[in-house]
Structure formats: C-alpha cells, structure tokens
Amino acid sequence: MKIMDLFKRGNKTEAKETSAVVKKSLFDAIINNHLTDFDTLCLKHEEEIFANFADWKSASEDLRADDEAYQLNVRCLQIVANYFLRNRMKGELHAILTGLDDSPETIEWRNRLTEAEQLMAELKYEQALPLLESCLAKSAQSSSVGMQTLRPLTLGCIGECFFQLAQGTKAIKPLQDALSLAEEQRDSDSVLQYLRSLYEVHRYLGDPAAAAGYALRLSEVLEERGLLIPASNWRHQGRAIKNGEPPLRAVVKIGEELFELNDIPVVQSDKVEFLPMRSRTELKLSMQLCDEGRGFAEQTDVDTALQKFAAAKKADPLNYWPHYYSAAVFMHQNKFEEAVKAYEKTEELCPGWENTRSELWLARQMAAGHMQEDVYKSALVFLNDQLPVEERVRACKETLAKYPDYAECYLKLGKIEALAGNKEEARALLEKGIAVAAEPDVKSRLLCDLALLTADNSEKLALLKSCIEIENGNLVGQALAHYLLRQIEG
C-alpha cells in the first residue's frame, strides 16, 4: 500500500463522518423545530448536503423495515429538499428524492396536482377544484411518503380555490388541515404560506379576532427564523386588528417598519411612506377582469368594459375596484347619476380610497347641474401629472374663471408653484382654496400642504390639527399630518 493510498482512505473516512454529523444536526434541528438552526446548517453545509444527499436517501431505503423511522427519515429529507428548492432555487435534491415513492397512485396524484396548479395559475379555480378533491378522495386511506408530501399541498390549493371563488368559509378547514400537516412535517415555508392564507381569509370574512391570531402566529415563526422586522410588522398588525379593523386606514412606514398613527415614533428618517391598508384583499379573478375592462375602456369599447366590470363585481362582491372603474366610464359618457352611484358604492366598500371622495363630490355637482361637462374634461387635464405643467396650469385657470369655488384647482396650482419654489404664490393659492373648499377630502389636503409651506411653528401646528380634525378627510393627508405633529411636538 502506497502512502498516498493511506491518506486517501483517511480522507474518505473523515468525509463519511462529516456527512453523518451534518445529517444528524439537520434532522435534530427539524425534529426539535429549531428553524433558525436549520437555516444556518443548510447555508453552512450546502456543499456537503449536495454531495451526500443520494447516500442519505439510500440509507433511508435501508430503514423500510421500521416504518416509523423510515417515515421520519424521509420527511426530514423532503424538508431539506424543499429548503433548497424554495430558498436557493436548486431542485437537484428533489430529482434525487423522487424515487422514494414512485407508486402509480403517487405519480397520478402528482400529475393531477400539477394540472390543477396550472389551472389555478390561469385563474380557472372552478376547473381546478374537482381535480384536487378527487386526489384527496382516492388517497384517504394511504400513508405512503409521497402521499404525505402531496396531501398538504393539495389541501392548501383547495383552500386557495375556495377563497378565490369568494367562498371563504369553505376555505378555512382545508387550509387549517394543510397548516397542521406542514407543522408536523416541519415545513416552515409552507407554515408561513398557510398562516398568511388563513389570515387573509378571516379578514375577508370580517373576523378580525381570528385574523389577528394568525398574524401573531406569523410573527412568532418569522422571529424564530431571525426575521425580526417582518416579525415586528406582523405583531403590530395582529395587535392593530384584534378588536376590529376599519375597511381602510392609513399606516406609516418608517424604514421597513409599520406604525399606527397613534404609535408614530420621533425619528429622523428620509424613508417615510404613508400607506393605505385595506381590511380585505381583492380576489384575483375579479382583479383580472378589472384589468381586462380597463383595456377595453382605453380602446373606447365602453360597453365591453362595463361588462367586464360587472363580471368583476360578481367574482368578488367586496372588491371596490370595478365600481371605481365603472364610475370613470360613466363620467366619460356624461352619465353623471350612474357615476354618483358607482362612486358611492366604492366609498361604501373602501371609504377614503385615494381621491374617491373628491371625485364623488364632482360627480354630484355635475349630476345636480351645478357644473357642466367641460369641468370633467378639464379635470382630466389638470389632475394628470404626466402632462406638461403649462397645460395643467392653463386648464386650472380656465376652470377657475368659470367656477371660482372649485377648490381642487387651487390645490393643484398651489402644488405646481410650490414645486417651482414660488412659496408665496403657492401659499396664496392654497389659502384661497381653503376659504372656498366645501369637500372634506380636498380641504384636508389643502391644510396639510399649507402646513408644509409655513415656517411659523404655531401656525403649522394649528393647520395640522385642523387637517386631522376634518371628518371624512383624506386618509393619507391626515396620516402625514399625524406624522408631522409627532415630530414637532415630540
């Protein structure tokens, strides 16, 4: 035996020992639900895992006589493979793992699940649902490894289908079952996915207490993984909605953290956003129909657009977007009474969304005959920030010459002057707007913009407080006022 052969044999033995240690550490982390340790081990030993995974699979085959040990071993291997597929975009381990259960039943289920997922990607939930349910029915008595892996995925898809078909009550049980199985299998990524789905389903059903519970569980899982800021945001959301949640509210995002208006800290940050947060998510099919309707509207095929919006309302009765888009079409058609109804429904479903309130006020003025069609055409110009400044200024001035009490024109002109550095001109325009503003949304924005311009601290405080006190004011404008007050008053 040559001396180099001795060294080679020694290196091989050491590699095997290292492989066994890595495998045991990974499996211990999974069994004990130490998610952060598991993530760290996967990152640290990626090379060893890929080099030895096939051998680990062979070892698993040797355990078939002990069904419990075999099932645990395979489940751990599946979790390792899932980690690299989802987090590292490497599917090689899944290819190696496939042979653990290639029974005809498993292959059929896998094919049906793939077909159903494709249908779901195309938003064909009604066609996907029976495929998924038939898989579960056929496998009810099976306990094979492949079936155990596919069952939570299938249940999760069934829950998603029911939810996207606006049948949220039916979505709860399959999603809860999927969550329980994912927790048993230590599949932390799927646990996060199903917790988030259950959170959204309960919010959609108007059950904030249950939704808050899932939000807090999400924060715990994220914190265990060391994702402290996302964990903090979910904890914040759970606390905020526990005792009820308005249909729409504004929150402040400072850096990457979210704060309610009464929890805003005193900070020095250039990264501050004011975000509207709705109590319900919009269902995907409804939003796709809205997008299709917008496309037809842009091509001036308003009849088809309205048909699409009507279908979107049916697909998601709680979605405000199809009503909002319908209102825009009715305004374009000079059907102002229909526009008023559509805007009112938008406000009912999502009170305070963007500038719905000021647009509703304009529609009501036109329906009552206080303003004519030319105002709407002018508004399309001066409200469009993509158009040249000169064109927008001209539209505002022409409108004010005919309707001197149209406060939004003063707001737009004041913004333009402020951006140009003409603070005194901007201030004068905003003050004129405040004096004539009858609509709360616009008035609150005027007050907030004027507060930003003034250098006098006492005047600034008075303007910000006036903005906040307005009932049915602009949510984002009032959130900005809350933030500024907090920074000034400490």
pLDDT of residue 94: 59
Distance set, CA 214 to CA 108, 190, 198, 205, 437 (Å): 34, 14, 7, 14, 43
Euclidean distance between CA atoms 351 and 249, whole angstroms: 9
What residue type is 466 in one-letter code? S
Euclidean distance between CA atoms 439 and 360, whole angstroms: 10
CATH topology identical between 284-371 and 374-490: yes
Does residue 355 have a pLDDT over 80? yes
Provide the terminal-to-terminal Cα distance of the chain, rounded to the nearest Å.
Answer: 80
pLDDT single digits (tens) 38-54: 878 888 888 888 888 88
Residue count of the chain, please give it.
490
pLDDT of residue 88: 58
- The contacts of residue 26 (CB under 8 Å, 6+ apart) are 38, 41, 42, 45, 49, 76, 80
Is there a contact between 256 and 229 (Cβ–Cβ < 8 Å)? yes
Q: What is the mean pLDDT of residues 73-91?
A: 71
* Superfamily of segment(s) 284-371: Tetratricopeptide repeat domain (1.25.40.10)
- The contacts of residue 42 (CB under 8 Å, 6+ apart) are 26, 49, 80, 83, 84, 87, 88
Does residue 98 have a pLDDT over 80? no
pLDDT of residue 60: 61
- Burial status of residue 237 (CB atoms within 10 A of its CB: 0-12, 13-18, 19 or more): buried
Please, which residues bridge with residue 257 across strands?
254
**Please, which pLDDT band fits residue 34 given cuts at 50, 70 and 90?**
confident
Residue 186's nearest CA partner among 152, 157, 142 is 152
Instruction: Please report, to the nearest 10 degrees, the dihedral formed by the alpha carbons of residues 121, 123, 128, 132 taken in order.
Output: 60
What's 463's DSSP letter? Answer: H
**Please, which pLDDT band fits residue 388 given cuts at 50, 70 and 90?**
very high
pLDDT of residue 1: 35
pLDDT single digits (tens) 332-347: 999 999 999 999 999 9
Please, which residues bridge with residue 157 across strands?
none
Does residue 193 have a pLDDT over 50? yes
3-class SS of residue 274: strand
Is there a contact between 85 and 93 (Cβ–Cβ < 8 Å)? yes
Euclidean distance between CA atoms 61 and 74, whole angstroms: 9
Does residue 207 have a pLDDT over 50? yes
Does residue 438 have a pLDDT over 80? yes
Q: What is the mean pLDDT of residues 151-164?
A: 94
Residue 177's nearest CA partner among 193, 161, 164, 194 is 194
- The contacts of residue 421 (CB under 8 Å, 6+ apart) are none
Euclidean distance between CA atoms 44 and 83, whole angstroms: 13
Euclidean distance between CA atoms 17 and 263, whole angstroms: 54
pLDDT of residue 8: 39
Euclidean distance between CA atoms 311 and 329, whole angstroms: 15
Euclidean distance between CA atoms 479 and 275, whole angstroms: 9
The count of C-alpha atoms lying within 13 angstroms of the C-alpha of 434, restricted to the half-sphere facing its C-beta, is: 19
Q: Which of 9-13, 170-174, 194-198, 351-355 has the lowest mean pLDDT?
A: 9-13
Please, which residues bridge with residue 274 across strands?
252
**Please, which pLDDT band fits residue 397 given cuts at 50, 70 and 90?**
very high
- Burial status of residue 368 (CB atoms within 10 A of its CB: 0-12, 13-18, 19 or more): exposed
Placement of tokens 């640290």 in the chain: 44
pLDDT of residue 48: 86
Please, which residues bridge with residue 249 across strands?
277
What are the sequence ranges of the domains in the chain?
3-100, 284-371, 374-490
| Domain range 374-490, CATH architecture | Alpha Horseshoe (1.25)
Euclidean distance between CA atoms 16 and 204, whole angstroms: 53
Q: What is the mean pLDDT of residues 11-32?
A: 73
Q: What is the mean pLDDT of residues 19-24?
A: 87
Tokens of 270: 């250039």
pLDDT of residue 9: 39
- Burial status of residue 4 (CB atoms within 10 A of its CB: 0-12, 13-18, 19 or more): exposed
pLDDT of residue 101: 53
